[in-house]
Amino acid sequence: RGRRGVLLPQLLVSAVESAGDAVAVVEGSRSLSYRELDAVSSRWARWLIGRGVGPGDAVVVAVPRSLESVVVLWAVAKSGATFVPVDPGYPAERVQFMVADSGAVLALTVSSVAQVVAEAAGSVPVVAVDEVSVAARVGQLSSRPVSYADRVRSLELSDAAWMIYTSGSTGRPKGVVVSHAGIGGVMSAEREHFGVDGSSRVLHVCSPSFDVSLLELGVGFSAGATVVVAPAGVGGGPDLADVIASQSVSHVFMTPGALGSMDPAGLDDLRVVVVAGESFTPDLVRRWSVPGRRRFFNAYGPTETTILATSSAELVSDAPVVIGSAIAGVGAFVLDERLRPVPEGVVGELYVAGAQVARGYHGRFGLTAARFVADPFTPGGRMYRTGDLVRRGGDGVFEYVGRSDFQVKIRGFRIELGEIDAVLSSVPGVGFAVTVGAALASGESALVSYVVPEAGAVLDPAQVRASVGEVLPGYMVPSSVTVLDEVPLTPVGKVDRAALPAPVFEVAEYRAPRTSVEIAVAEEVAQVLGVERVGLDDSFVDLGGNSLAATRLVARLSARLGYRVAVPVVFEASSVQELAARLDTDTAGAGVGSVVLAARQRPERVPLSLAQQRMWFL
């Protein structure tokens, strides 16, 4: 149980020695003791070894989260092969790519999805572990522990323990190859930090394709705790809360999105909540932290750093949300673009070094060289450049600032979406919020937000926008707020931004314009905002209008109506009808009376303005 030099299968072996008869894993009414789990996984490991599978070989595991998936994981680990989790619910093309790219020698699955996996696996052999004849043959093999001598070859710390595919910027997934070298460190450190012991009941809810699932199992088993497997179709909401309550779960590791989908009421046995995978707001801490009864932690770590690299001290309500300090054995540095340390409090990119740094991306040598760089502070060492922007405080604690891919530029302003989410989450009744940048039908970029109400709360999108407008500048106020029952999540529990519904803009019941000015205003608003039809009671702002769109609108209205229209009038009017009424007066918004635009002859040469002269100079 030391911090270093522990092979993945040794985590289970140590628990068998100390807690053999304790319940290791439970799924519904089914359970296995540590001794039983050790025995059945050893039989399957021997079956794999008998097929020539061992260290250096990749084995795809396409088994939905279940007691079987836990057994198969340990069987592959004991054989010394590389565990490659593949969600059978992924599109066939993606499964096909992952199987082929990994170079897998075998794919293990279950009967319910065996045909789907077989179609994607091509020439790679596919075996359903619950197929009666296969299970019968495996049951005849020895259940004694697998030794070094039993394997095809010796298993070393430098060998690959697992390969997990993450999204690539090009749309092509990349396989992160993680060795055994850093596993012992993270499991030991986090087991102690989060207070997991033999009396704990640790929830296993993360998808096997998300590396935090390995933390759930590794921390739980290394402590001799009971791992509670959530049903495969349950990833959040009331159903997951029911599992936590009925199974007396004490520890959970999950994404903020999954946690935010549940109501904490009634989960009296839950003592420790650890979130990872995404940033979140202090409101989530306020909802879930109960001083003296339930502790709340934040953990951080890319897949490329063996699950986790930092973890926080206990977070409390109204305190800053931080990702904590580096865990034991991990080097974490905040550097500038020339790999020089930045001063405390200054934002820089986080680099992670140490035994937990992954070997690299399978078959992607160029990408590996770009992301895994030489460690200038340790001769012969390597660092992983995370791409995450952080600042380090004097106490060594890191504050997550953001990523460039979660920044958007609206009307020339670069905006961190997390800042908007934080304000939205502080609005009474809002339980969870996420904001994205979207392209409107007009071609304009806009901020659109999605909120999930707290239990029993009823949210008015207009009121939510108004509340945000009291805190943030106009360019940061979402053009649309859509209320959802729950946010869509990816298979690994993160917010699935691509699956968020199209933004909903407030459209009033249609009343047709009547006067020539009303018709002009309605038609021009529709044209500028890319809306099919605009009525008298519709609001320019509620339809997604912003200051840039307003500038275009007044230009079109001025040309069409023949007099100057000022931008402020557009925002002062609460509806198309009111805007038309304001324009249909002698003081049409300019504040100096209506001005008839008279055409005059254009000279042959037009002098450059000062701004144009500067552009010419540049």
Q: Please determine, for residue 476, whether its predicted confidence score (pLDDT) is greater than 90.
A: no
The CATH architecture one would assign to domain 8-385 is 3-Layer(aba) Sandwich (3.40)
CA atoms within 13 A on the CB side of 96: 9
CA atoms within 13 A on the CB side of 502: 6
Higher pLDDT, 409 or 280: 280
Query: If you classify domain 407-499 with CATH, what class do you get?
Result: alpha beta
Query: Do residues 542 and 579 make contact, with C-beta atoms less than 8 angstroms apart?
Result: no
Query: Quick count: other Cβ atoms within 10 Å of Cβ 75?
Result: 29
Percent above pLDDT 90 for the chain: 61
Among 47-51, 309-313, 363-367, 603-607, whose mean pLDDT is lowest?
603-607
Mean pLDDT to the nearest integer, 398-420: 70
What is the H or E stretch that residue 34 is in? helix 34-50
Strand partners, 31: 26
In tens, the pLDDT along 91-138 reads: 788 889 999 999 999 999 999 999 999 999 999 999 999 999 999 999
Please state, rounded to an integer, the average pLDDT across all residues of the chain: 87
What CA–CA distances, in Å, run from 618 to 412, 611, 614? Answer: 20, 11, 6
Strand partners, 336: none
Same fold, 8-385 and 407-499: no
pLDDT for the residue 568: 80
Domain ranges for the chain: 8-385, 407-499, 516-588
Mean pLDDT to the nearest integer, 65-79: 96
In tens, the pLDDT along 133-182 reads: 999 999 999 999 999 899 999 999 999 999 999 865 444 789 999 999 99
Q: Please determine, for residue 241, whether its predicted confidence score (pLDDT) is greater than 50.
A: yes
Rounded to an integer, what distance in angstroms lies between the CA atom of residue 74 and that of residue 54?
Answer: 13
The crossing angle, in degrees rounded to 10, of helices 212-222 and 183-193 is: 70
Among 4-8, 84-88, 502-506, whose mean pLDDT is lowest?
502-506
Mean pLDDT to the nearest integer, 512-519: 91
pLDDT for the residue 18: 86
In tens, the pLDDT along 536-553 reads: 988 887 777 776 677 778
* HEC sequence for 117-152: HHHHHCCCCEEECCCHHHHHHHHCCCCCCCCHHHCC
Higher pLDDT, 415 or 262: 262
In tens, the pLDDT along 571-605 reads: 888 889 999 998 877 444 444 334 344 455 666 66
Higher pLDDT, 559 or 102: 102
pLDDT for the residue 262: 87
Among 39-43, 393-397, 510-514, whose mean pLDDT is lowest?
510-514
Question: CATH assignment of 516-588, given 1.10.3720.10, 3.90.79.10, 1.10.1200.10, 3.30.70.360?
Answer: 1.10.1200.10
Rounded to an integer, what distance in angstroms lies between the CA atom of residue 598 and that of residue 542?
Answer: 34
Q: Please determine, for residue 555, whether its predicted confidence score (pLDDT) is greater than 50.
A: yes
